[in-house]
Structure 1
Amino acid sequence: MKKLSIILALSLVLGLVVMANGEVMARDTVRVAIQSEPSRLNPVTREDTEAGYILSMIHDPLIELDSEGNYITDGAVAEDYEVSEDGTVYTFYIREGITFHDGNELTAEDVKFSYEQFMDEEMGSPHHSYYEGIEELNLLDDYTLEIVLESPDVAFLTTARLRGHVMPKDYIEDVGWEAYERNPVGSGPYRFVEHHSGAFIELERNEDFWHHVAEIPNLEFRFYPEISTAVMALEAKEIDFIAELPADEYNSLKNNPAAELKFGSFEIFQDHRIVFNKRDDSIFSDKRLRQAVAYAINREELIALTRGDLAVPAVGRVPGFHAASAPDANAYEYNPDRARELLEEAGYPDGFETEIYAPSGYRERVMESEQIQQQLADVGIEAEVVTLEWGTYLDATGEGEAPIFRERWSATAPDPFSFIENWYSESSWNPIFGVYHNDEVDELISQIRVETDTERRWELFREVQEVAMEDVPSYPLYWPIDGLAYNDQLHIPEDLFNDFRNPISHINLWSFE
C-alpha cells in the first residue's frame, strides 16, 4: 500500500495520467490530429488550412477578433489603430516590448516588411490582390506604421491584415524564405521545434510570450491521412483533438456511451462547393454546361451521405446565418430533366466525359465526388474521379488541369468579403478557382469595397451573388456545422465555439483539467 501511495504521489507531481490501456502519458503535451501534412509553412504563400493552424501558434496577429467577430487589439501586435475620416489612411501603433523567438524586438519595421511580402508579385501570394490598393507604407517611428490607400476600402482590415501573422524582417532576410519554411520564427505563444516529415510537427511553449503564456507546455500536430486511424487514436487518448472531424465520425462518437470524450458544435463561416475550370480552352467555359452539372446534383443526397444534420444546403456563397447571405440567388435545385435540356442546348445531347478532382486526404470530399459522379452519370455525363495528395491537388487545380474540383472556403473574419472577392477578375484567387470574368460582378465588388453604409453593403452582397450564380462560376453544395470531439481531460473555453473563432486557432487558451 505504501509503495502504491508513493507511485500515485509521483504521478501527481509529474502530471501523469494512466490510460485505460496501461500507457502513461504526460499531460504536458496536447496532440492535434490533422489530415494532411502542410504543403509549406509560409504565411504569404500557403493555401492550405493545415499550415494555418500551425503558423497561428507561431505568429501573432496584427489585429485580433473577439468572440463576436469585432476587431480588437487585446492579444494583437497593434496596441491601437486609427482610420482617417476619408477611409484612406490606417495608422497602427505597435505594442512595445514584444520579441520574436530569436530574441529580436518586433517593431513597425517588421509589420511594414510583412505587408511588403504580400505586395510583392514575385512572392506569388494568392492574397496579393488584397494589398494592391496600398499606395504608401510609411514608418512614422519605430512603433508606428501609416498605410495610405489609393481609395477607401471598407474591407481592408478583413482582407489585408497579414493573415494573422507578423513576420520577422531580420531573420527572414538573413536566412531566406526556404530556410524560414524549415524553421519558422514568430512572436507567438509557441516556438517551432521540429518537423518530423510524414509524422508530426512539434512546438514548445514560448515562456517569454508577451501576452498570456500558454497553459500547455508542448504542442504536436500529428498527420493522419486516414481519419479512422485518428478516431481510434482519439478514443485511446493517444491524441487529444481532431481538426476537421468528419460529421459521420462525430455522430458515431457522440452516440457511443463508452466514449470518454467531450463534444461541441458550431456554425462555421465556411462554404463547400464544386468549382469549374472556366478558361477558354475548357469545356466548362460554356455556362450552360456548368448549369447542367448544377441541376444534376442532388445536394440533399450528398448531405445525407456525409453530414447528416451537420450541414445546410447552400444558396449563394455567404452562409445563411450572415446578414449578407442571398436567399434569392439561384440554388439550382435538383432537376435532372432541366440538366438534360441544357446539355442538348449546348450541343451535347448524349453527354460528355470529364473529371472531378478531389484531395485524397479528405474522405468526405472524395465520397461526395464519387456520389456526384453517379448523379452526373444519370444525365449522361461520364465523370472520372481523380484523387491527389494535397500539394499535387493544389498545383493541378490552380494550373487548370481539373475540369471540376471539390473545394471549400473558410473566412476568419466577420466580414464575408473574401467569399465573393475571388469572383473579381483581377483577384489573385481568380485563376486558382478556374478564371471568371463578368463586368457586372466586377463593378458590384468594386462598390462593396467602398460602401460604408452597412445595410446598403449587404444589399450589394446579395446582388452580386444573384448575378454571379446565373453564371455558376462555382456551385455551392452546403454550409457545414462543425462537430468537435476531444479528450475529456481537456478544457476548451466555451467562448471559442462560435462563427469566427475556431477553437483550434487559440490552442494557447486550452488547458488540461
Structure 2
Amino acid sequence: MLRNSRFLGAILRIKILLLSLPSIILFTFLVNFLFVGLQPKKAINQLIISSIGDASFLNPVLAQDSASSDINSLVFNGLLKYNEELILTGDLAESWEIKGGDKPQITFFLRKNVRWHDGMEFTAEDVKFTYDVIMDEKTNTVRRSDFELVEKCEVLDKYTIGITYKEPFSPGLETWTIGIIPKHRLKNRDINTDEFNRHPIGTGPFKFAEWVSDEKIVLTANDDYFEGRPYLDRIIYRIIPETSLSEIELLTGGVDYYGVIPHQYKRISKNPKLKVFRQPSFGYTYIGYNLKNDLFKDKRVRQAITHAINREEIVKFVLYGLGEVATGPYPNHMWYYDHSVEPFPYDPQRARELLSEAGWEDTDGDGVLDKGGRPFRFTLITNSGNDVRKDVGVLVQRYLKEVGIDVKLELYEWSVFLTDFINPKHFDACILGWGLGIDPDAYQIWHSSQIETGFNFISYSNPEVDKLLVAGRREYDIEKRKEIYHKFHRLIHQDQPYTFLFVPDSIPALSFKFKKVVYDQEGKRHFSDIQMTKAGLMYDVIKWYVPKGIELQQ
C-alpha cells in the first residue's frame, strides 16, 4: 500500500512538471524578449558600394580586373602608395634609400609590428616571397614584366629588404605599390588555385569577411591596422550588373556609393541626399582589334574605321559632354600626353578611300565590302550591364555600315567576357577601357613581349614601339621621358591598334551622410565634408564616418 502511494505521488509530480513546462518556457521567452528589446540597438558604420561586376581573384598578384583591384586595395598594402597629391609615400615601408648607377639599388626599411589579419607578423620574408611568386613561371600573373629587371631581391634583416636592378628602371618605385601577400599562408601552395584567392589575408585596413558570388563581398574593419582602426565598421560591395538598378538602389538608400553613368548625372545631381563628384579619369575607352585576324592587320583599315566613327558625337550624346575624345594611349590631362597629336577627324569619305586602298570593294553590290571573296564582316563584343559601352557599340554598328562594314554586336556577362573571349583572344574586336597608373610606363599593354603573358591581348607588335618603351623605363629625367613617350604616343596614333574613343570623366556619387573625421591642433575631433582628391574619392576611406551611425540590418 505504501509503495503504491509513493508511486502515485511520483506520477502526480511528473504530471505537474509536464503541465508547467510550457508555462516555464513561455515565461523565459518573454523575459528574454523584453530584456533584448530594452537594450539599445547596435549601430554600425557601413559603406555599401555598387559594383557592376564580380571580382575574380582577391589576390593582387593574380588580379587583372578593376573589381578585384578595388577590393584588394583595401585588404592588402604595398611597400609604397600614392598620396592624395599623387606623390609616392610609404605604406608598409617606413622609408627607403636609392642608390643610382648602372645597377640601381633600392633599400626599403619596413614598418615594425605590422600584423597580418590572422595575427602573424609581417616581415621582409613576405616581400621576398611576393617577388618570388611573381617571377615563378607557374604563376598566372601579368605583373612579371614589372619585376623582370630585378637582378636580386634579398632579405637584409627582418625589417629590411634590398632590391638590385640589372639596369636603370625608372618605374621601379611604383612597381612596389603592388599588394604584398603572406608567405606563411601561401608557401608551398599552388597560388593559382588556392582557396586564399577567395578568402584572402592581408595587412590592410579592412579584413575579408564573406564572398557570395555575383551577389556581394563583405569586408570588416581591421582593429589592429597600423594607421589606426578605420572609422567604418564594414564595407559591402554589392554586385549589381544593371546600371538602372544601381541608380534605383542609390536613390532609395540600398547603396551609398556608385559610379554614375553620364545620362544619370543631372538627375542624380539634383538629389539633396547625394553629392556627385567630377574629375577627369586616369583611363580611356577604346575599340581593340585582334591583330591576328586578317581583317585588321592593315593599319589603313584600322585608320579607316577610326575615320568612320564620329567620336565627337559619341562624347556629346553618349557621355553627355562628360569626357573628351582620346588621341592615344594616355589621358589628356597627364604630363606625358602629347598635345600636338590631333584626333583623326570624322570623315566617312576618307574611310572609304583608305579601305579601297587596302583592297576592299563592294564587288557584288550587296552594300558590304569584300576582298578575295570574303565580306568585311566581324563581331564586336563588350560586357553587359555597361550602358555606355552598349550605346557606343550600337552607334559603331551604324557608322561602319555607312562605309560598307557589317558589324554584329554581342554582349556578355563580365566574367564570361573575360574568361571565354578576352583572355584566350577569342574575339574579332571589343569595346573596353583601361584604368592606368600614374607613371607613363605602358610596357605591359603595348610591348610585344606581353602578347602571351601580359595585357597585350590584341597581339600588337612594333619594334620601334618596343625600343621606345624600353628606353622610357631606363630614363629618369622627366623631360627626356616626356620626349620618349611623346614619340610613342605619335607612333601608336598612326598605327591605330585601338580606335581610341574617349577619356571619360570620373563621376562617383556618395550619400551626404558620410563625413571625414579630422582633428584640430588641440586634438579635438570634427567632421568635414568628403572631397575629391587627385588620387580619387576613396583615397582616405579609412577616415570616413557616419556621425549618427546606421542600424545593422540582418
Q: State whether TM-score is above 0.5.
A: yes
Cα distance per residue 1:391-417 (max 9 Å; x no partner): 2212312322211111111124x3222
State the shift of 1:510 in Å: 1.7
Matched residue, 1:479 = 503
Equivalences for residues 15-54 of structure 1 within 5 A: 26-54=43-71
Cα distance per residue 1:46-90 (max 9 Å; x no partner): 1110111111111112101111111111xx100111111226211
Matched residue, 1:439 = 463
The whole-number CA distance in structure 1 between the counterparts of 2:502 and 2:162 is 40
Matched residue, 1:58 = 75
Matched residue, 1:283 = 295
The whole-number CA distance in structure 2 between the counterparts of 1:285 and 1:312 is 28
Please say if residues 533 and 539 of structure 2, whose CA atoms lie closer than 8 Å, have aligned partners that are also in contact.
Answer: no
Matched residue, 1:172 = 186
Counterpart of 2:515 (choices 491, 502, 505) is 491
- Aligned amino acid, residue 391 of structure 2: M
Matched residue, 2:5 = none
Counterpart of 1:384 (choices 403, 408, 413) is 408
State the shift of 1:479 in Å: 1.1
The total of aligned residue pairs comes to 483
Counterpart of 1:369 (choices 382, 389, 393) is 393
Provide closer, same or farther for how the CA distance between residues 278 and 480 of structure 1 changes in structure 2, counting only shifts above 3 A: same
* 2:433 is equivalent to residue 399 of structure 1: no
The whole-number CA distance in structure 1 between the counterparts of 2:394 and 2:155 is 53
- Aligned amino acid, residue 274 of structure 1: I
Matched residue, 2:536 = 502
Please say if residues 268 and 481 of structure 1, whose CA atoms lie closer than 8 Å, have aligned partners that are also in contact.
Answer: yes
The whole-number CA distance in structure 1 between the counterparts of 2:139 and 2:303 is 36
- Aligned amino acid, residue 390 of structure 1: W
- Aligned amino acid, residue 351 of structure 2: A
Provide closer, same or farther for how the CA distance between residues 472 and 14 of structure 1 changes in structure 2, counting only shifts above 3 A: same
Cα distance per residue 1:427-467 (max 9 Å; x no partner): 36656430111111111111111112211111111111101
Please say if residues 204 and 218 of structure 1, whose CA atoms lie closer than 8 Å, have aligned partners that are also in contact.
Answer: yes
* 2:260 is equivalent to residue 245 of structure 1: yes
The whole-number CA distance in structure 1 between the counterparts of 2:38 and 2:473 is 58
- Aligned amino acid, residue 113 of structure 2: G
Matched residue, 1:152 = 168
State the shift of 1:223 in Å: 0.6
Query: Secondary structure of 1:349's match?
Result: coil
Please say if residues 330 and 466 of structure 1, whose CA atoms lie closer than 8 Å, have aligned partners that are also in contact.
Answer: no
- Aligned amino acid, residue 69 of structure 1: L
Matched residue, 1:422 = 445
Over the matched positions of the two proteins, sequence identity in percent amounts to 28
Please say if residues 423 and 457 of structure 2, whose CA atoms lie closer than 8 Å, have aligned partners that are also in contact.
Answer: yes
The whole-number CA distance in structure 2 between the counterparts of 1:262 and 1:35 is 20
Please say if residues 54 and 415 of structure 2, whose CA atoms lie closer than 8 Å, have aligned partners that are also in contact.
Answer: no
Cα distance per residue 1:146-178 (max 9 Å; x no partner): 1111111011122x2253x11111112276532
**What TM-score does the superposition give when structure 1 sets the normalisation length?**
0.90
State the shift of 1:39 in Å: 2.0
Please say if residues 58 and 185 of structure 1, whose CA atoms lie closer than 8 Å, have aligned partners that are also in contact.
Answer: yes
The whole-number CA distance in structure 2 between the counterparts of 1:382 and 1:11 is 69
Structure 2: gaps spanning 5 or more residues: 1-36, 363-368, 370-375, 517-527, 548-554
Please say if residues 45 and 545 of structure 2, whose CA atoms lie closer than 8 Å, have aligned partners that are also in contact.
Answer: no
The whole-number CA distance in structure 1 between the counterparts of 2:425 and 2:257 is 35
Query: Secondary structure of 1:100's match?
Result: coil
**What TM-score does the superposition give when structure 2 sets the normalisation length?**
0.83
Matched residue, 1:77 = 92
Matched residue, 1:311 = 323
The whole-number CA distance in structure 2 between the counterparts of 1:251 and 1:116 is 49
- Aligned amino acid, residue 509 of structure 1: K
Equivalences for residues 184-203 of structure 1 within 5 A: 184-203=200-219
Please say if residues 381 and 429 of structure 2, whose CA atoms lie closer than 8 Å, have aligned partners that are also in contact.
Answer: yes
Please say if residues 314 and 331 of structure 1, whose CA atoms lie closer than 8 Å, have aligned partners that are also in contact.
Answer: yes
Larger Rg belongs to = 2
* 2:103 is equivalent to residue 68 of structure 1: no
Query: Secondary structure of 2:448's match?
Result: coil
State the shift of 1:365 in Å: 1.1
Cα distance per residue 1:359-403 (max 9 Å; x no partner): 113221111111111111111111111111112212312322211
Equivalences for residues 336-351 of structure 1 within 5 A: 336-350=348-362, 351=369
State the shift of 1:12 in Å: 12
Provide closer, same or farther for how the CA distance between residues 494 and 300 of structure 1 changes in structure 2, counting only shifts above 3 A: farther
State the shift of 1:505 in Å: 5.0
